[in-house]
Chains A and B, each alone.
Chain A
Amino acid sequence: MELIQLLLNGLSLGAVYALFALGYTLVFSVLGVINFSHGAVFTLGAYFTYLLIGGQAGANGLLAGLQLPVALPFALALPLAGLASALVALLIERVAFRPLRQRGSDSLLALISSLGAGVILVNLIQLLMGAESYAIPIGTLGSLPAALRFAGAQVRTVQVLLLAISVLLLLLLSVWLEGTRSGKALQAVSEDPVTAQLLGIDSDGMIRLAFGISGFLAGVSGGLVGLSVSIAGPYFGISYGLKALGVLVLGGLGSVPGAMLGGLIIGLAEAFVPAEWSGWKDAVAYGFLFLILVLRPQGLLGRPLGTKV
């Protein structure tokens, strides 16, 4: 029973990390740069979800007391929040990435500009919604029980939902990448954008698509995590972002299956930390990451790349 409990704990944690890391991966694969504004888009997704289900803005922001005239069911609010987050991600691509890319700037600059975009977004959230915490009301999932039992192990229903939606999105993304023309076009761009463009693939369009999907995934995962553990203020996405960065590196930079595997491994590593060491779970997870990288610097599923001479 204890093993099943630990597996459930680890999988539900890991699925969120994987979903988050996938957003990083998609952008990294096409631009070779980590989009540091991803955590802010994740946070935004949680706030969008909160407002769309009828949540009211607190007392400390410019939008104090704001409540949308409609209160959507969570099942509708979540994808809509994902779409709104995708639009924000596209805006970030337009403002923080494209101008630098068009000037042929070093990708390190794009990394810094993405960090700047993230900081601006987080501060904007704080300005508009205040620094207070928000929680999606208990009972949002209707008549579903608060927790479920599997073979003597117990897990919160929201965690099961989170795991199921994460796995579904991961599978859809994999199928799209491997089984569709546009998915393969994205892979081609990630492999070599110049050649892809010569072959008639719209590299810029593919980059925008990667940002859009990445923003959607961030928004949906933000909404799901907000449902599970409340929205602890505008900085809510930062710790998840850091963890997902570890996941990204562990799985192999730019590898979609690697992001999934890395997420699950980090989640399981945290869950399997003994109770008396529970406060050290981050140290254990990152220690594990360090060990893997020493043994396999390109990450678990990353490809070793030759050095140019």
Chain B
Amino acid sequence: MEKRALFSNKLLPYMLLVPQLIITLVFFYWPASQALWQSFLLEDAFGLSSEFVGFENYRTLFQQPEYYRAMVTTAIFSSAVAVLALSCALLLATQADKKLKAAQAFKTFLIWPYAVAPAIAGVLWIFMFHPTLGTLARPIKATGVDWNPMLNANHAMLLLILSATWKQISYNFLFFLAGLQAIPKSVIEAAAIDGSGPIRRFWTIVFPLLSPTTFFLIVVNIVYVFFDTFGIIDAVTGGGPAGRTTTLVYKVYADGRLGGDLGGSAAQSVILMVIVIALTAVQFKFVERRVQY
């Protein structure tokens, strides 16, 4: 798609593009290519010299049990958050889609957690479930569970999943609500005349018609858990206890900063880039399908 009428200045378009191109080249392409290049280098312990080692960093990476553990952690974390955040949001959106008097007020009250920074969300949840002073930790302990997310990896993971879900519901809710409102009422009325009840109508008509939104949100949620939850993890667990809540992105940070293993960290970055590009490609396929719908 192109405009019929255009300006024909020779130099001006380049001048308009220069600011964005310079920033993109300096802060995007340059570091991305550095990451790629560094992933083939091995630095000595003092960072004074480095030599080209080919795929050595990748080979070392795939021999680390910690790397597989981070993969499993990321998989558990992202699928749990995606399932929870999507189903809660869908439930809320279907209810908010009904013609209620206070629908707009409910909408406002449900969307604002989007504005809370992930790290702050983590701090709120750790305050709520802190083993000694958390308001909600007391009732849990009263049931006899030795609740301690600082020491127990499962408790830590649970806390991460809950706080990440809490923050993501509002986003999913907005998109589900928009999707629901785009479904023509006549279709639903037709089904009602044919005698199908609300639950049957939801599963046979509304849910299938909503599937483009759902697929889009699944991808967005996975990307969210991969990258945006860094703040939550750093605030709630710091990757612990004993590295059991370290995700792939958190490991890039921890290995490069705390471990000083820049080559290994770069190799991990490259693998992550490949994953994101794959996810984005999947997303674009669905966006195209959504347009045809």
| Chain B binds chain A | no
Residues of A within 8 A of B (CB): none
